[in-house]
Structure 1
Amino acid sequence: MSHPTPRVILVTGAARRIGAAIARALHAQGDRLVLHCRGSRADADSLAAELNSARPDSARVLCADLLDVDALPALARDAHAQWGRLDALVNNASSYFATPLTELTPAQFDDLLGTNLRAPLFLSKACAPLLAEGGSIVNILDTQARRPFAGFSAYLAAKSALWTLTEALALELAPRLRVNGVAPGHMVWADQPQFTPERQAQEVARIPMQRLGGPDEIAHAVRFVLSPEARYMTGAVVPVDGGLRLG
């Protein structure tokens, strides 16, 4: 659904994979995108060029290290300054890797907690006063955050905290802003796979739908949660996991 005045939406970690799919889905309905990246500038620039070729002046790139909390207010201000408005924030950027307890380091913990909890919290804080009336924040969670499995304690703890943060901010920012979450299951395997091929096959077997989901299915859920059709939803977490959480 297109909007009379194009909305401006900041998507973190937008250069590749699920973030890029979210950006494309929102762009297809007429939104303008501020594409955040950290180290994937070439991919972000390529995506911006693709979107701008389809509709001129509809996508711009901003780089920032989300682990640097002091940089987040500037990212929010710069996102707003691109077109003089900001309508939504999608907290998508996320570190993800295994941390068996015997090998967990403080640096790994800081990375996982920083990208999956601290950055979404402080970027939401920075963006909230800049978001237009009726604006939204969407946090990308993990359907397994409430059903932990071994070897990923730091990541799952951070995502579980982000789940609670989603509900807490929905209370604090209502009624001016809505805050919701989308919780993927197994959508795409990481670039550096955390599971052996045998374990991947076991994980797919756990999914009632018997397949990985794919980035577009997360993107479609985000698009719905940001749409006028979801205007009475806040503090909700939409699972997009093929039923994985039920196993």
Structure 2
Amino acid sequence: MNATPRVALITGGARRIGAAIARALHAAGYDLALHYRRSRAEAEALAAELERARPRSVLLLQAELAEFDRLPELVAHTVGRYGRLDALVNNASAFAPTPLGPTTPAQWDALFASNARAPFFLAQAAAPHLRAARGAIVNLADLYGERPLPRHTVYCMAKAALLMLTRSLALELAPEVRVNAVAPGAILWPEHGGDPAARQAMLQRTPLARTGAPEEVAEAVRWLLQDASYCTGQVLRLDGGRLLGA
């Protein structure tokens, strides 16, 4: 562990995949700034868990990512607390169906706000600090940024924008800052609804024949931040081989 720990800002870090990323990076020696939107109880419980392992290693930050002014504030609060920023993990994501016909501009704005707009402006605010630390950015993309999901056109478009952001920032911020993405397949099923038959059909199209684990995503993020020193502008597909199928 470094004498001065590296620092990571993680959006949507209170629960599900975000919490797994937080635990993995904390175990790897990072101090954390954990953003959450509404999951205050989960964020506080996770912070308490990690603080027991290493006191004063977690900063909780509540923000609505659709509010532009809050984005540079997240970076400023992180640097104000720790004096540095080594890693930005754009994990927060909205997901909702947008069938052609009834979809509204408000739905468009909500999906683009967390999946594309916030990652860009957070990266813009973080860039000077990441350059100083020779740090890295990891964006949590989705295989549906490359392959459309019926009735989810706007979500797919937003994730496609995030993939282009990853590649473009890799050029913009080189050579000091590396920028990569992880594109998971089926990791955690949606919390509300879902068709068991559709889930089974999806697994049948997945060569590894199972869902992934949040910890597998977290390890991919840690590797890209910490060990992948000659990797930038890449999208690591963590989908059990699903994109290989028809």
Shared fold per TM-score greater than 0.5: yes
In the TM superposition, residue 133 of structure 1 has moved relative to its aligned partner by 2.9
* Residue 112 of structure 1: aligned partner: 111
**Partners of 1:244 and 1:165 in 2: how far apart?**
23
* Residue 205 of structure 1: aligned partner: 204
Task: Please tell me whether the aligned partners of residues 84 and 133 of structure 2 are also in contact (alpha carbons under 8 angstroms).
Answer: no
* Residue 53 of structure 2: aligned partner: 54
**Partners of 1:123 and 1:58 in 2: how far apart?**
21
Unaligned 5+ runs, structure 1: none
Which region of structure 1 is more displaced relative to structure 2, 132-141 or 87-96? 132-141
Runs of 4+ in structure 1 over 3 Å off: none
Equivalent position amino acid for 1:90 in 2: V
**Partners of 2:41 and 2:77 in 1: how far apart?**
20
* Residue 158 of structure 1: aligned partner: 158
User: Aligned pair in 2 of structure 1 residues 133, 54: CA closer, same or farther (>3 Å)?
Assistant: closer
* Residue 167 of structure 1: aligned partner: 167
- In the superposition, the TM-score normalised over structure 2's length comes to 0.96
**Partners of 1:10 and 1:133 in 2: how far apart?**
14
Q: For residues 22-70 of structure 1, give each alpha carbon's deviation from its aligned partner in whole angstroms, at most 9, with x where no partner exists.
A: 0000111111111100111111111000000011111110111100112
Other structure's SS at 1:69 match? coil
Task: Please tell me whether the aligned partners of residues 21 and 219 of structure 2 are also in contact (alpha carbons under 8 angstroms).
Answer: yes
Equivalent position amino acid for 1:140 in 2: L
* Residue 145 of structure 1: aligned partner: 145
In the TM superposition, residue 4 of structure 1 has moved relative to its aligned partner by 4.2
Other structure's SS at 2:69 match? helix
- In the superposition, the TM-score normalised over structure 1's length comes to 0.96
* Residue 187 of structure 1: aligned partner: 187
Equivalent position amino acid for 2:140 in 1: I
How many percent of aligned residue pairs carry the same amino acid? Answer: 52
* Residue 94 of structure 1: aligned partner: 93
Other structure's SS at 1:226 match? helix
Task: Please tell me whether the aligned partners of residues 144 and 245 of structure 1 are also in contact (alpha carbons under 8 angstroms).
Answer: no
Other structure's SS at 1:129 match? helix
User: How big is the alpha-carbon RMSD for the aligned residues of Structure 1 and Structure 2?
Assistant: 1.1
